[in-house]
Amino acid sequence: MFCVYYILIPLIVFLLTFVMLKVKYSGAFFNIVGSLSLIFLLFSSQFKLSTISIIEFLPNASLAFATSNFSFIFATLVAFLWFVTVIYSMGYLRTLDDKKENKFFMFFAISIFSALGVAFSSNLFTMYLFYELLTISTFPLVSHYQDSQAVSSGRKYVLFILGSSICLLLPALILLYSFTGTLEFDQAQLVANNVPRQMFLIIVLMFLFGFAKSALMPFHFWLPGAMVAPTPVSALLHAVAVVKVGVFCLYKVFYHTLGFENFYHLPYFKNVLIIISSVTVILSSIIAINQDGLKKRLAYSTISQLGYIILGIVLFSQTALLGASLHIVSHAFSKITLFFCAGAIYVVTHKKYISELKGLGYKMPITFSCFLIGSLGIIGFPFTGGFISKWQLLKGSLEAGQPLVFCIFLLGSFIAALYLLPVIFTAYQKNPNFEEASISEAPIYCLIPIIITASMSIMIFFCNDFLIEVLRVK
């Protein structure tokens, strides 16, 4: 029964903000209260598993929720970062004196609601429902500033995600349902014996590219476009909630629905999948190197890190899967720190491009030190969360007998260092004209979240045994 309560909280926050749209600061207040109660509820549940089925749409394809270990971890991650991002966006929006703050928080709550809905869904049908709801609820956030740029990036956002989900995901869902007659998650046995061979390949490819939110290479264009949104949105949603939902769905579909054993007798097909995701990892990190916009560069780094996670899933080995889920958690913390810092820089200096950041390090020491911690987390430097997940991923690739993937992982981390560390170097160069400018540290509301998330990404390294034990897939 509990899983419904977790989902209802953001919905209640959404309704309350909707009702009190005119009252100043009501949106922020309700979001904070909502996120705190959600975190408290999640921690007090001690991962008690529970399932509930609400409405029966089709024979065994109903609106049903179930909690599993991974969905708990994902939900706590989203809840915690929701709380942090709300504090951050209070600071961010207040300094930019944004008038549509309540509307912003309203859509924020509904997107968290649909992200949690996906996390706790117990069958493919419910997951697809909330996946679509997430697209619709994040669209107003992407086009928040309602200028010409918002229109073009909004178009890319809707066309890529909604288009791919209608043209690829829906037919895959229906094909699966017409063959196996069920949309429950663990139906690997059913898939094995009544889905013909070439239809199985088509369905797998449709699912792989259908979840456009996981920003696989040909379907990744919407993510750099979505950087037009205010930074809290790109921080929480486009670094954590939205993209992780895409990868989470891939994890559920590949592991539970299609089942790893159906892929053993398809060696060539596994190589194709590996090639697709490794191309994403390498290509997007190379593009990230020559991106001058700070947020654009972080967007491409997100795409490459997501490629890591997909690669982990596609290796079809237990430890690689564990590494992938760990990477989801660690990447979330480090990437959100980077985005927060980018937002803080923008708030204080209204600068978006890395070349303009020369000498800013001396003025904003805390922001840039957290930026350093975050980028180390992304690179996978020891003493940060990224190291743990990358370690498991490397072990998994060896276990799956793919030495090439092992090198790709290392190459990816190396290129990550290539495009993240120069930002720090440019920040700490001498820049005469910054001396006298009255640039002070980021506002307090932005600083606290940055510090929290940076410390969290380090803390993961030290207490990773709890995470590994929970996430180890039986």
Per rule CB under 8 A, is residue 15 in the interface with other proteins?
A: no
- As a whole number of angstroms, the distance between CA 361 and CA 344 comes to 13
**Which CB sits closer to other proteins, 99 or 350?**
99
Binding of other proteins by 218 (CB under 8 A):
no
Q: How far apart (Å, rounded) are the C-alpha atoms in residues 303 and 169?
A: 20
Query: How many of the other CB atoms lie within 10 Å of CB of 41?
Result: 15
Whichever of 175 and 279 has its CB closer to other proteins, that residue is: 175
* CB of 246 vs other proteins, minimal distance in Å: 17
CB 180 within 8 A of CB 196: no
**How far is CA 423 from each of CA 39, 70, 302, 357, rounded to the nearest angstrom?**
34, 34, 16, 8
Query: Residue 135 or residue 457: which is nearer to other proteins going by CB?
Result: 135
Residue 433 burial class via C-beta count within 10 angstroms: exposed 0-12, middle 13-18, buried 19 and up: exposed
Among 1, 22, 55, 463, binds other proteins (CB under 8 A): 55
Residue 56 contacts other proteins per CB under 8 A: yes
Radius of gyration of the chain (CA): 21
Which of the stretches 51-59, 213-221, 394-402, 405-413 binds other proteins when contact is defined by CB under 8 A? 51-59
What are the backbone dihedrals phi and psi of residue 344, each rounded to the nearest 5 degrees, phi first?
Answer: -60, -45
* Minimum distance, C-beta of residue 10 to other proteins, in the bound complex (Å): 16
**53: helix, coil or strand?**
strand
Residues 144-173 that bind other proteins (CB under 8 A): 146-148, 150-151, 154-155, 158-159, 162-163, 166-167, 170-171
Exposure string of 172-202, with b = 16+ CB inside 10 Å and e = fewer, is bbebbbebbebbbbebbebbeeebeeeebee
Question: Can residue 96 be called a binding residue for other proteins (CB under 8 A)?
Answer: no
Does the footprint of other proteins cover residue 129 (CB under 8 A)? yes
By rule CB under 8 A, what count of residues binds other proteins?
30
* Residue 137: CB minimum distance to other proteins, A: 11
- Six token digits for residue 378: 């992304």
Is the torsion defined by CA of 122, 159, 297, 415 positive or negative? positive
From the list 175, 190, 279, 366, which residue makes contact with other proteins (rule: CB under 8 A)?
A: 175
List helix spans (H) across 20-68: 26-44
CB of 154 to other proteins, least distance (A): 7
Q: How far is the CB of 135 from other proteins (least distance, A)?
A: 9
Out of 174, 275, 404, 470, the only residue in the binding site for other proteins (CB under 8 A) is: 174
Q: How far apart are CA 22 and CA 398, in angstroms?
A: 57
Q: Could you tell me the smallest distance in angstroms from the CB atom of residue 58 to other proteins? A: 6
Give me the residues that bind other proteins (CB under 8 A), please.
55-58, 62, 128-129, 132-133, 136, 143, 146-148, 150-151, 154-155, 158-159, 162-163, 166-167, 170-171, 174-175, 177-178
